[in-house]
Amino acid sequence: MKRRLLLVSNSTLHGGGYLEHCQQQIAQFFGKQVKRILFVPYALHDRDGYTKTARDKLKTLGYEVDSVHEAADPVEAVRKAEGIFIGGGNTFRLLKALYDHNLVTEIKKRVLQVSMWYDWLVYMQLYMFYTAADDLDCVKWQVPGGQDGVPYMGSSAGSNVATISINTTNDMPIVYPPTFSAIGLVPFNINPHYLDTDPKSRHMGETREQRIVQYHEEPNTPSVLGLREGSMLLVEGNKATLLGTTKARLFQRFDGCPLLVQ
């Protein structure tokens, strides 16, 4: 199965503009074969303003943008899309809107192009390879067959909904989607904007690390990739490669207890 995903931790990096830090990777990802990108602005309340921001930026990279919220039939817009970009914002608002418009299954079909759709997560095998202490460089998995799908890009909340569930988002549940189960394009969860513990901080709330470990105290929870700001994951077929300059952390759960990969 030749899936292609670009899962970005954040849309804006300190000191730069919207998508500026990843514009080179975006251009390489969509390439010249994609002329129009379907943008999904559901994570923010001002969908028109958000679409203009994305449209203006992607136009500088040579892409025209259609927004799903402007389409008379959002499902048909997804079916005809050459590429999909789901922007960041509130993950709960985003996932609820995707379900409200019946887009979760349609996006999954377009990206994965699965010919036999059954519980493929049961058959997945996850292998991790590292080149530095707690940094994830490559994830490989195996799934039943399929065909090439359309390229999918997500940033922040858009990366969250590409995973198994939105349980490891940083956002407040300002609305309630019918389920926390997400699109399921990869067999793990993501925590975007991952922050390392600051030993000098006087903040007494849980650290990001502690919250993810708490998540893994629950049974049957998938691995969690903590994407630091400035990092992104490129998925091509059964290979995922970490891009950017800030690396990532991988959290796993084994034998009934959480395990922090160090």
Question: Which residues have a catalytic role annotated?
Answer: 156, 171, 193
Which residues, 6 or more positions from 49, have their beta carbon under 8 angstroms from its beta carbon?
A: none
Contact 131, 140 (CB under 8 A): no
Provide DSSP, 146-184.
------EEEETHHHHTTSSBSTT--S--SS--S-SB---
Measured distance CA(103)–CA(108) in Å, rounded: 8
Residue from 155, 146, 42 nearest 102 by CA = 42
- Beta bridge partners, 202, equal none
Please give the torsion angle defined by the CA atoms of residues 202, 203, 206 and 208, in that order, rounded to the nearest 10 degrees. -90
Measured distance CA(98)–CA(114) in Å, rounded: 20
Please give the torsion angle defined by the CA atoms of residues 61, 67, 70 and 71, in that order, rounded to the nearest 10 degrees. 110
Measured distance CA(129)–CA(250) in Å, rounded: 11
Which residues, 6 or more positions from 44, have their beta carbon under 8 angstroms from its beta carbon?
A: 50, 87, 89, 90, 93
Measured distance CA(159)–CA(105) in Å, rounded: 16
Backbone φ, ψ for residue 174 (5° rounding): -75, -20
